Homo-oligomer: A and B are copies of this chain.
Amino acid sequence: MTQSDPNSAPQAPSLAPNGLSSGLAAVPEPSPELLQRAAAVRRSALALGQRDDGARRAAVLAMAEALEAHRESILEANQQDLAAAAAADLAPALVARLGLNGTKLEDAIAGVRAVAALADPLGRRQLHTELDAGLVLERRTVPLGVLGVIFEARPDAVMQIASLAIRSGNGALLKGGREASTSCAAIHAALRQGLAASAVEPTCLELLTSREESLALLRLDGLVDLIIPRGSNALVRFIQDNTRIPVLGHADGLCHFYVDRAADLEQALRLAIDSKTQYPAACNAIETLLLHGAIAAPFLALALPAFAASGVELRGDAAACALGVARAASAADWGTEYSDLILNVKVVDDLEGALAQIGRYGSRHTEAICTADQATADRFLAAVDSAGVFWNCSTRFADGNRYGFGAELGISTQTLPPRGPVGLEGLVTYRYLLRGEGHTVADYASGAREFSHRSLPL
């Protein structure tokens, strides 16, 4: 989901993510036992959502302390998972994500403490209107309720999401990958022990363990308010296709970088290399470079050796190939998220040509322009319909932490908010509170009374 999350790497098992095997006929109905557990989480979460800032902050710190206290048992559990992974001959990339060592665990615990320090997202007044004398409307932020979180192998993600959930007043049903099941159970036990020492009920965090449960989670409409998948594109897409619950997360990151005729070519090259190579598996890495025809030749003269030195394979259209790009891009390449050191190169006539290519193949994630011309930049910023539209900087900045959100839950490429990198605000919603003195609508329908609709201070 995030560029710092190796789960978005293409090495993840693509059609059987998290035990959600392909060939699945249908998502099963939740068992009565699961419904009961989910309802219990919901009840606890309702109480949690009414706790004040200090109580929720203290609960997250108690979770961090319990993780520290259970450090050895967590690392030991992780060793068991690693041994099983070795026996099962798991892919090295998966093993790397699965493994926890002292440093990784300490980093994760520091992350939990950092979540405690985030500003409270709850109780913010977003709207305040006097509808009529004595009839006052407020809109205040409240928790979503219950999150359904599905991870692939990474056990450290459990700590992060659980702490974000509690900080924002939400309960969570957590389902880790099969490979990490022993680690997840140890972490979950520690987190609940931490909550038991706080004012928040431990039953706010529930761990799902079986494949059936993680599938049935998708059917818990009314009990779960948001599904957060942390894993491969295949996992995200599977979930989106099999639930009516809103899903936070995108399946595609097909980003473009456009070098305008008025670009500083040295700067453009540095930015393109950063956008492609700084973390190629990230969703905000670029897949296609668009070159204005007027600068394609001098840019490629500079760029070909630089990309070669960075290990980037280029695939060009006919014009780019004529200028020295060695391999021709296939029709499918323009729509492929490589998540690897491969980059398409296309020569376009002008800004319109770049916009057309982006409109056709982009995934509305992040696109950037490099130009010294303000008017061209402004047109690009206004015309590109992506969550992030950048000028003279790397697409790799599209990230909740770099944006200053303090945390990132995922990046959304759907158009409706939350869009782009989502911080804590993605875990809250709002409620309208209306306080009256016996006001009836009949009085307004009859004309006996009239609305004032006067804005009050927030």
Contacts and interface: CB of A to CB of B under 8 A. Distances in A.
Contacts of A381: 433
Interface in A28-46: 43, 46
Main secondary structure of the interface of A (DSSP, over half): mixed
A278 B415 contact: no
Nearest to A138: B381
A135 B393 contact: yes
A174 interface: no
Given A241-B244, A402-B131, A391 B436 contact: yes
A388 B50 contact: no
A50 B145 CA distance: 37
Given A131-B404, A244-B240, A144 B415 contact: yes
A65 to B, nearest CB: 28
Contact of A439 (B244, B387, B394): B394
Interface stretch (A105-113, A150-158, A319-327, A440-448): A440-448
Identify the interface centre among A129, A225, A382, A432: most chain B CB within 10 Å of its CB: A432
A311 to B, nearest CB: 15
Contacts of A83: none
B432 A389 contact: yes
A451 B207 CA distance: 36
Interface in A348-374: 359
Contact of A271 (B50, B386, B394, B438): B438
Copies of this chain: 2
Given A415-B145, A429-B417, A438 B264 contact: yes
A452 to B, nearest CB: 9
Contacts of A388: 431-434
A432 B49 CA distance: 30
A438 B144 contact: no
A415 B224 CA distance: 10
A437 interface: yes
A419 interface: yes
A205 interface: no
Identify the interface centre among A43, A50, A241, A388: most chain B CB within 10 Å of its CB: A388
Interface in A110-129: 129
Contact of A442 (B50, B135, B274, B390): B274
A453 interface: yes
Given A385-B46, A392-B438, A417-B417, A137 B445 contact: no
Contacts of A414: 225, 246
A382 B241 contact: no
A435 B274 contact: no
A278 B441 contact: yes
A432 B285 CA distance: 17
A77 to B, nearest CB: 31
A398 interface: yes
A431 B386 contact: yes
Contacts of A50: 382-383
A121 to B, nearest CB: 13
A396 interface: yes
A273 to B, nearest CB: 8
Interface string A266-298: 010011001000110000000000000000000
Contacts of A383: 46, 50
B432 A387 contact: yes
B431 A389 contact: yes
